Every structure is written in C-alpha cells, then in structure tokens.
Copies of this chain bind each other. A is one copy, B any other.
Amino acid sequence: MAGEASSGTFLQGLERGLAVIRAFSAQAPSLTLSEVARDVGLTPATARRILLTLEQLGYVRTDGRQFSLTPRVLALGWAYLSSLDLGELAGPYMEELSAATRESCSIATLDLPDIVYVARVPTSRIMTVALGVGARLPAYPTSMGRVLLAGLSSSELDVYLANMQTEQLTPRTVTSASLLRAAVDQARADGYALVDQELELGLRSLAAPIYNSRGRVVAALNVSAHASRSTPESLCEEVLPHVLCAADHITTALKHRGHL
C-alpha cells in the first residue's frame, strides 16, 4: 500500500480520476487543466496529478495546454459490454425481431435514474449514433424504463419515485409519481409496457423484460416506431407478440449461458 493513503477504505483518487474522465464530452472534447479543475471541483494541483496520471496510463493526451481522451478509454466501457455479453447473445433474436416488425429494436439496462443502451439494431442503414450503445435516456418516459422499473424491489421503486426529476417532454409525458407508479404496476402485471409519445412526439415504443436465471429483470427489449406508421392498437396486435417472443428467447438463451 506504499504511497496510497485515503480516508477509510474509500479511494478518493480513484473517484476523482473517474470524474475527470466523465468531464469530457461532445460539448467539451478537450479541456485545459483549469477547466477540468473547475468542472470536477478540484484544486488545480489535484487536477494536474490526475491528468498526468491518466496521460501516463495512455487514457489522456495533451498538447501541453489542452487535454483530451484517447481510444484507450473505450477499453473501460468495453469491459462492461463484453462482460454483459448480451449484444452477441441477443443479436440474432434482435435481427429477427427487427426484420419481422420492420422497426428498429434495442436492449437497455437500468442505471438509475437512466436507462443505458447496450445493443441496438436500427431499421434503416442510417447510423443513429446518437442512440448507439452507451446512450442514456431518463427511465420514466420510456417503455424500456417502465419494464425495468417494474423489476425493482418495492423499496427501490419507492426511492426512485421519491427522488425522480421529471420534465414535461411532450404534452403526454407522465410526470407525477402516483401516475408513474400506476404505469409501472401495469407494466409488471402485463409483462410489457407501451409508451405513446411521452419521450418525443411521433415516437411510440413497446418493451418487454429480459430475465436472468434467478428471475430478476436484467434488461429490456424494445421496438420503437414512428407514430405515423402505427397506432397503439396496431403495435399491440402486430408488434407485441414478436417482442414478447424475442424477449422470451433471449431470457432462455441467458439461462442456458448461466451467468448474469
């Protein structure tokens, strides 16, 4: 433990280092030392030590003034995705689902208060990087969020509902805790969730849960469709059976694989 002290068991240097990595974004692809210090809430001396450590490890590069992340950072997210291994396992079923419904489909997991995309099959060949793997959306106005919230324990759901920050994203967005709880209960009872233009006008989405071998909801599978190409009724009649079937296949494949 030479040269490594901290309060209790918590490693503050690690926390701060991860916060520095997260400070970079599309809006801030490169940052100066003082910008990093300000954004993360560190002294310049601490920010400097973290940036130099990250540079030495190959996660950050600098021209002397501006710092930016390197592709090595992808190895961190990749560790999660490959350990989840859901994309590869679910891929063929998602392909089938997308072909059968002619709509794009996705898998997301929960990282409260958000859902995080872990696999996606777009309909057209247009690359929608904006909703690619790793993209995040708030849980409350999305169909995948609803079925994932339905998989929480009741105390976890209580905490989420008590603390959630909602926004009236469209005139249809459910923002009250009691109505959202009812929608989540409904999703649990139904085994799926339909969300009709609550995230974005013109977008309807249908999701079903994926379970691990212990019966816990670990992910959600969805199909989303332009409102112009669907009605809630047509989604339930024509798309829902395919979604439920694919989610079931993925659940079975997960069981056979064992982990998660």
Pairwise interchain contact A125-B110, C-beta atoms closer than 8 A = no
With A17-B18, A29-B260 as contacts: A80 and B88 at CB distance below 8 Å: no
Interface residues of A in 75-92 (CB under 8 A from B): 75-85, 87-88, 91
**Is residue A160 contacting chain B, with contact meaning CB distance below 8 A?**
no
Pairwise interchain contact B15-A6, C-beta atoms closer than 8 A = no
Pairwise interchain contact A15-B77, C-beta atoms closer than 8 A = no
Pairwise interchain contact A30-B133, C-beta atoms closer than 8 A = no
Pairwise interchain contact B78-A133, C-beta atoms closer than 8 A = yes
Pairwise interchain contact B79-A30, C-beta atoms closer than 8 A = no
Closest B-chain residue to A218, C-beta based? B71
Chain A 88-99 against B: per-residue CB contact (8 Å), 1 yes, 0 no? 100100110011
Number of copies: 2
**Complex CA–CA separation, A124 to B22 (angstroms):** 34
**Complex CA–CA separation, A1 to B48 (angstroms):** 12
**Complex CA–CA separation, A58 to B127 (angstroms):** 30
Q: Of A111-119, A169-177, A241-249, which binds chain B? A: A111-119
**Complex CA–CA separation, A10 to B52 (angstroms):** 7
Closest B-chain residue to A68, C-beta based? B83
Closest B-chain residue to A28, C-beta based? B83
**Is residue A162 contacting chain B, with contact meaning CB distance below 8 A?**
no
User: What 4 A-B pairs have minimum CB-CB distances, sorted nearest first?
Assistant: A77-B77, A78-B134, A14-B17, A87-B129
A sample of 27 inter-chain contacts (CB < 8 A) reads: A1-B43, A1-B45, A9-B49, A12-B13, A18-B57, A26-B88, A29-B84, A29-B259, A29-B260, A30-B83, A69-B79, A71-B84, A71-B111, A73-B76, A73-B80, A74-B78, A74-B81, A74-B116, A74-B118, A75-B111, A77-B78, A78-B133, A78-B135, A81-B132, A87-B129, A98-B125, A99-B125
